[in-house]
Amino acid sequence: MKRFDQYLRHLEVLQRANQEDLENEFIISGIIDKFFIQFELGWKVLKQLLQYEGEGISRSSSPRDIIKAAYVCFDFLDEETWLCMLQKRNDTTHIYNEDVARQLVQEILETYILAFKHMGAAVQNRYGKVLEEMP
């Protein structure tokens, strides 16, 4: 699955965020941007997997609907964390406060990267070679 490959490539970059200068506002902004992209890829991978599983909700274009359906279908998804990430993703366009941006970066480093890694490993474990056959 092309989108899942992108998900994994972007996750590799995001995982290196803690090695950067977290006092630099450009780095902080870049980490938040990478989080935004990673989240987008994540919920779209879930949408594609729901479609593969024959779930009708996969026709929805709402990340919230996809996350809620994925939580029911996949035992590897932490609904609360993903819904929190959705909220943070929605808020990223309105971050003008440096302290709020730094706090989000800490959440990304401490919680969200782990959730992305967990999902990536679980998807690979569950679908294996099937991923190569998906568009």
Say yes or no to pLDDT of 111 above 90: yes
Instruction: Look at residues 112, 126, 4, 117 and name the one whose alpha carbon lies nearest to residue 74.
Output: 126
Phi, psi of 55 (to 5 degrees): -80, 125
What pLDDT shows up at residue 29?
93
Is residue 47 within 8 A of residue 71, CB to CB? The reply is: no
Q: What is the pTM of this model?
A: 0.93
Using 50, 70 and 90 to split pLDDT, how confident is the model at 134?
confident
Q: Rounded distance, CA 19 to CA 30, Å? A: 13
Say yes or no to pLDDT of 11 above 90: yes
What pLDDT shows up at residue 95?
72
Q: What does the pLDDT look like over 22-81, one tens digit per residue?
A: 999 999 999 999 999 999 999 999 999 999 999 888 787 899 999 999 999 999 999 999
Which of 3.40.50.12780, 3.40.50.1000, 1.20.120.330, 1.20.1600.10 would CATH assign to domain 2-126?
Answer: 1.20.120.330
Q: Rounded distance, CA 91 to CA 102, Å? A: 14
Q: Rounded distance, CA 107 to CA 18, Å? A: 12
What pLDDT shows up at residue 130?
92
